[in-house]
Chains A and B, each alone.
Chain A
Amino acid sequence: MNPAAVDLRVRLGRLELEHPLVDASGTFDLVETARRSRGDYVAAFPYAAYVPKTVTLDAREGGPPPRVTETPCGMINAIGLENPGVAAFLEGLSTIVGLRRPVIVSVGGNATQEYADVVRRVETALGEGARRFPDVAGYELNVSCPNVPGGLAIGVDPQLTAEVTRAARAATGRLLLVKLTPNVTDVRPVARAAVEAGADGLSLVNTFRAMVLDRSSLRPFLGNSTGGLSGPAIKPIALRMVAEVAEALPGVPLVGMGGIMTGVDALEFIACGATAVAVGMANFTGLEAPRRILDGLRAECAARGFARVTDARGVALARGA
């Protein structure tokens, strides 16, 4: 089969995506990349949707350095949700009106109400019409940051996750995703709680709590002591969790992620039931990563005779999805 003939379009809830690849929150900054690009990178943005770094109501300084390092087959980070706050975020967003892709705003917070407050602030700015924005199609609630005090408190608790989701649901009619943490014994109760509270879909997984030592001092390397592990090292665990949720909640659109570096990695998440997939660490290997993974996905589909990428969805599952 000719790879160019593969239909890569997917439907994430009410959102039509040109192909299944999005960027994982916190790994790609369109404003910064456009500043450093030879062409018009905003117009040529390769992902099917843009998920910016998590934004909170007020600015956050983040955690102490060092914040990142490579680990065997992966990396660890403890950024601590550094961000300029929702007002400055909206300012930045208004500079990329040339973006032809939908934006999914990643929202963070401490209290359950703070998430809804951020959503309301974005909705108000969009409704005012005072500034122009790219197409904000929805939100991803980050209830799973392992690197801020209490960051995991919501995401490991089905009831709190439901509360956050319900409050955000009340604040917007746009697509609402909830990003799940893998730092739980069973991810399914939290997944179910989010969907029952009004989430249109789920993103999984965020990073795994982990630790790296400085080899000479034998003290924790990261300023925050612990961090979140990501990259190819976590892919097999992430695939298992995506498959579990896909089997438990058939029909709920999933954004799968965890160490996707190649087209076949992306296809594996789709085979485990994901509708879309998010690319994280691979963005740090070079600007060409999204295009390379997308071309790879197309070729891998063609090689297996999938005329549509959706034909591959759930083939790894016991009963399909």
Chain B
Amino acid sequence: MTAAARSPHPRRARPERGEQWAETSRCRVVAARRFGAFTALELLAPEIAAVAWPGQFVMVKVPGSGFLLRRPFSVFTARGDRLGLLIEARGPGSERLADAQVGEALDLAGPLGAGFPLEGVRTALLVGGGIGCAPLQILTDALAGRGVPVMAAFGFRDGRQARVAAAFDIERLWVATEDGSVGRRGMVSDLLAALDAPPSATVFCCGPAAMIAAVQRWAAGAGLRGYASLEAHMACGVGACHGCVVATKRGALRVCSEGPVFALDEVVIP
């Protein structure tokens, strides 16, 4: 059964870049695996997992009374009735979520945002930096399902951060670390030239602004087109507050609503 057939929205045509649901669902944590600074959470979320599209995100309520705004997280995996999220402890909110225990229930809204367009992709080059690698697993799964060959390059600060690479199931994966402790020493952009991507490859990248800018330059030089998924501080996650805008060639656009996925060459990195 396709996701569209399972969708409770028969009145709407299935959007090419993913259905969006603002309603909150309560989802139980069924697995929590630690990878250095990251936690891979698996939640029982059949409705969200059924429609989640690569590049989409969910807004997660942080348990406890000290947190008000929900935190956005990319969908890491959506397999069967399980939704995977990759959490990096960066502040008090993500620290609490990274510490989530099996059996605990979390409030999630989603999936949200416009995901990666997959139509017409012949071969894919995935580029991730740090926590920006998260959406590239569900993307790999979706591309594999379409028979699209995938190669991926991930960049991390150091060996501790690079431990998260073990959470991924990508056959052709290259890793770079800034301190050289794992894989090639240097930035992920240094890996790209060595990968020898075919001219028909579509680039999919997600990571810090400096990495996106480096990938933009490299892709322009190599004549490749692609997409970038951006992150931003968000309040609502549903297009209301205009808190998460980024500069693009089309003007300031909302990451939550017009994104998080944008054409690689339209993103303007300050």
Contact = CB atoms under 8 A, between A and B. Distances in A.
A279 B30 CA distance: 35
A287 B24 contact: yes
A100 interface: no
Nearest to A81: B242
B233 A27 contact: no
A106 to B, nearest CB: 13
Interface residues of B, number: 35
Contact of B245 (A33, A38, A53, A65): A65
B239 A32 contact: yes
Interface residues of A, number: 35
Contacts of A38: 8-9, 21, 23
Interface in A55-84: 61-62, 65-70, 73-75, 77, 79, 82
Nearest to B237: A284
B20 interface: yes
Nearest to A32: B239
B100 interface: no
Given A36-B238, A79-B242, A68 B233 contact: yes
Given A33-B22, A36-B22, A27 B243 contact: no
Interface string A283-300: 111111000000000000
B129 interface: no
B233 A286 contact: no
B107 interface: yes
B68 A285 contact: yes
Interface string B218-253: 000000000000001111111111111111000110
Nearest to B15: A35
A185 interface: no
Given A281-B68, A286-B107, A29 B238 contact: yes
B69 interface: yes
B69 A285 contact: yes
Contacts of A28: 240
A29 B243 contact: no
B241 A287 contact: no
Contacts of B243: 67-68, 77, 79
A79 B241 contact: yes
A140 B15 CA distance: 36
B244 A284 contact: no
B58 to A, nearest CB: 12
A70 B252 contact: no
19 contacts: A27-B240, A29-B239, A29-B240, A38-B8, A53-B240, A53-B242, A62-B252, A65-B233, A65-B244, A67-B233, A69-B233, A77-B235, A79-B241, A82-B242, A232-B68, A284-B70, A284-B235, A284-B237, A287-B23
